[in-house]
Amino acid sequence: MKKYIILVIIPLFLACSGLKQLKKYNGMEARSLEKDFGKPTSIIPTSDGEIYIYETKTKLESTEIGKGQTTLDPMVSPAATKTEKTIFTFVNGKVVGVKKEIEYDRK
C-alpha cells in the first residue's frame, strides 16, 4: 500500500516543479532575465508596467505510434511545431508574475 501512495505522490511533486522554477524570478529585474532567457521576443507596455514575452519554437517530427502488434496500417502522429511562451509581468522594474503557455501547431 505504501508503495502505491509513493507512486502517486512523486508525480504530483514533479508536475509542479516547472512553474516552481520560474517563480524564483519573482522580484528580479529585467537584466537578470536576459542572462537566462536572452532578449525578449516582444515587450508589451501596460498601465502598471511591462509584459515581457520569451518564445522558443521546437519542430517535432512525425513518429509511428506503437500498439504492441504488427498491423498493415500503422498509426502515425502528425508533425507539429511546439511554441513555448514564458510571460513575465513587470511592475516598477521588478517581476511580479510568471506564466508559461505551450501551443502545438500541427501540420
Helix (H, G, I), strand (E, B) or coil at 72: coil
DSSP bridge pairs for 98? 88
Instruction: Indicate the pLDDT class of residue 57, thresholds 50, 70 and 90.
Output: very high
Q: How far apart are CA 12 and CA 33, in angstroms?
A: 28
Under the banding of pLDDT at 50, 70 and 90, the label for residue 88 is: very high
**H/E element, 88:** strand 80-91
pTM: 0.71
Q: What is the predicted pLDDT for the residue at 6?
A: 60
Summary mean pLDDT of the chain: 82
Q: Which residue has the cell 509542479?
A: 16
| Calpha distance 34→73 (Å, rounded) | 48
Q: Do residues 18 and 102 touch, judged by C-beta distance below 8 A?
A: no
Q: What is the pLDDT, as a whole number, of residue 86?
A: 92
Report the range out of 68-72, 75-79, 87-91 with the highest average pLDDT.
87-91
